[in-house]
Structure 1
Amino acid sequence: MNLYKTAKWVVSAIFYPLFRIRITGKENIPKNGPVIICSNHTSNLDPPVVGITSPRDIYFMAKGELFEKPFLRKLLTNIHAFPVKRGMRDRTALRKGLEILEQGNTLGLFPEGTRSKTGQLGKPLAGAGFFALKSNATIIPCAIIGPYKPGSKLKVIYGEAVNMQAYRDSKASAKEAADAIMTEIGNLMENHHSQHASLDK
């Protein structure tokens, strides 16, 4: 068992009972071919939650500062994380992301680029749109609903693929593509929020 699968097993054993995680729409994630999973972002725990609920191994970007220590760099690399310089256009990270997709793998992105303090969706950065337009990946929106509190219910919803072909054909901007993806994430949150609330009663 490699380190990624070991980490996934360990985190799953802790998180599933602790947060009572429920998953909807896992069947929407293709079994093969390049995939980009785009999720809302409210907590530092979002990446591991997406990682353990996805049936496919996911590659995530992580802030470059974390890779400065050799031990941490090795650990992060072994669990499929790669560095990105925040606050600037990091061409190396963009190339790495496209390379991951070209190899038929899954890239995990948080289009907002940073955590939402209010739980409301923020405006997306152009990054998710860039990867969507520059690759032939299937784009799967994801919504994480519920607080990270022990014993509460945390719901992870994977929506149907976002049709990006019209944006690719019309040479849309990365920002327009990112906005379309964020709209789908927002729709997932809106459609499932009331259902999640009723489960908590």
Structure 2
Amino acid sequence: MYAVGIRIHVNYEADVDWSKTYIICPNHTSFLDISVLTFLCKTPFSFMGKDELLQNPVTRIFFETIDIPVKRDSKMSSFKAYKKALELLFDRKSLVIFPEGKIDDHYPPILHPFKPGAFRLATEHNIAILPVVIQDAWKIFWDDGRKFGSQPGVIHVHVLAPVETSAVGKENVMQLEREVYNKMKDTWDLYNKS
């Protein structure tokens, strides 16, 4: 990304042991987020994302081979995605799940409520959550480039401390989701002051 004028600065709240398996939960404000996570992750990982990414010739290459497409309105697709996610986690691959579910339609973006899937998967299998807040990617390339264009710049990434789930019961998934959301929102708000 450096060749096109985009730099990435990463700040870690705590040490991350990249030899462990994580469910990585970043916010989602730009098409650049996927590239940022590829730069960030120092461990084998796959993305779980909407099946519409199969329609784009560039993203289709990756999604057909290493990632997990999900058709949101299909229970069968969700079940297959869950099974594939378990296979990858048992193979010690980390999994990236955008808990907001999609890129924000609001400009400038805000952090939207999370969907519970990533947190349910993490608690059921004692996988730590790795919250990631991506700042400024939306300022560089928010939409498909037609409305707001693109520009060079610096993307700031805040990797928050891993959140262990081994002591979290299934009945506390919503509490875990809120805890992670609040940590990410505090970081998002701190660096997005007007």
**Cα displacement (A) at 1:103:** 1.4
One-letter identity of the residue aligned with 1:99: E
Deviation sequence 1:160-184 (CA, Å, 0-9, x none): 111334423xx32543332222222
TM-score (norm 2): 0.77
Which is worse superposed, 56-65 or 114-123?
Answer: 56-65
The change in CA–CA distance for 1:105 and 1:190 in structure 2 (over 3 A counts) is: same
Query: What number of residue pairs does the alignment pair up?
Result: 179
Distance 1:184 1:95 in 2: 29
The change in CA–CA distance for 1:157 and 1:69 in structure 2 (over 3 A counts) is: closer
Please show how residues 154-173 of structure 1 align to structure 2 within 5 Å.
154-168=155-169, 171-173=170-172
CA RMSD of aligned residues (A): 2.8
Q: Percent identity?
A: 25
List alignment gaps of at least 5 residues for structure 2: 141-149
The change in CA–CA distance for 1:181 and 1:95 in structure 2 (over 3 A counts) is: farther
One-letter identity of the residue aligned with 1:96: K
Distance 1:38 1:22 in 2: 18
TM-score (norm 1): 0.75
The one of 5, 22, 47 equivalent to 1:60 is 47
Distance 1:61 1:187 in 2: 25
Aligned to 1:98: 86
**Cα displacement (A) at 1:85:** 1.0
Deviation sequence 1:146-173 (CA, Å, 0-9, x none): 12253322101111111334423xx325
One-letter identity of the residue aligned with 1:126: P
Distance 2:187 2:43 in 1: 21
Structure having the larger proportion of residues in helix: 1
Aligned to 2:188: 189
The change in CA–CA distance for 1:64 and 1:34 in structure 2 (over 3 A counts) is: same
- Conserved 8 A contact 1:112-1:124: yes
- Conserved 8 A contact 2:14-2:161: no
